[in-house]
Amino acid sequence: MLEQRVVFVEKLGGEIEDAQVLLELGASENDEATLDEVEASLPAIEAKVRQAELARMLSGPVDHSSAILAIHPGSGGEEAKDWAKMLLRMYQRWCERRGFKVEMLDFQPGDNAGIDGATLSVQGENAFGYLRAENGVHRLVRISPFDANARRHTSFTAVEVTPDIEDEIDITIKDEDLETTTMRASGAGGQKVNKTESAVRMKHIPSGIVVVCRVERSQHQNRAMALKMLKAKLYEAEIKRQEEANNAYQATKSLNAWGSQIRSYVLAPYRLVKDVRTGHHTGNVDAVLDGELDDFIEAYLLAASGGTLRKGGAIEDEAD
């Protein structure tokens, strides 16, 4: 991996140097064809520079790893549950664009609309490095489809991202520290109802961390996946203790309601998605909700690597 990065940077440096030589040559001889050739090469060089900058941003100890992403609707009732479902689709679409493999670890449908929660395994190089930018509370403002009077509602959903590093770390969990219970996995009714207690709820007693896995039909598979999720959470908790709690973690642990959001998605009375931490924004809300998150993620990574993140605060020109 390191050798590949060195080769990439050396090759990029050569391309930049070649372009500079051609530029000086074309300018000195007033050669329009040479100048046009240099100009045509710039977009590709700029793309590679951006790729190199991203590699620098994704240099954390576990940035290279896959990720476990959990979605928890907050205050707002059915509206919040529907917002959680929208976010789930948004991240699934983003993963598709990135070529990441997605596996549903836990899915809890809402009683009437949306979801009560979902947990995804996102597998791919640097998945955690990118998705850590999404860790926190996401706020939606729109005309609620659940309000007969067509009033504007504000909803909140928390996104929690942890690294999937089970194969890279040695975390020993004693049997006596585990409290494991089984239950029937919820189904859609009819033949799809799971009639056996295959779902697994696992609690780590010393830390109080609880995980649930109910997607697999086999209790054994759910137990193995729950243990994997628990190890990832224990590792993340230890990293956060060592770092004395970073900003992203505080956003996740903060109140899942007004004033604690990292990003706002406003669909009415105007259309705007704006990140509180970086100030990055766009009016193309539909594209963002369809998974076009790269600009927001890269803005966060750039700000985080440069130490210029803003610490919370209100978003200018937002709807109440």
Sheet strand arrangement including 199-204: 178-183, 199-204, 209-213
For range 49-58, the mean pLDDT: 77
Residue 275: is its pLDDT beyond 80?
A: yes
Beta-strand ranges (E) seen in 78-228 are 101-109, 115-123, 136-143, 152-164, 178-183, 199-204, 209-213
Summarised one tens digit per residue, pLDDT across range 73-82 is: 987 788 999 9
Summarised one tens digit per residue, pLDDT across range 206-217 is: 888 999 998 777
Residue 259 three-state SS? coil
Give the C-alpha separation, 89 to 114, whole Å: 11
Summarised one tens digit per residue, pLDDT across range 125-135 is: 899 999 999 99
Lowest mean pLDDT among 29-38, 240-249, 250-259: 250-259
Q: Which of 1-10, 28-37, 272-281: highest mean pLDDT?
A: 272-281
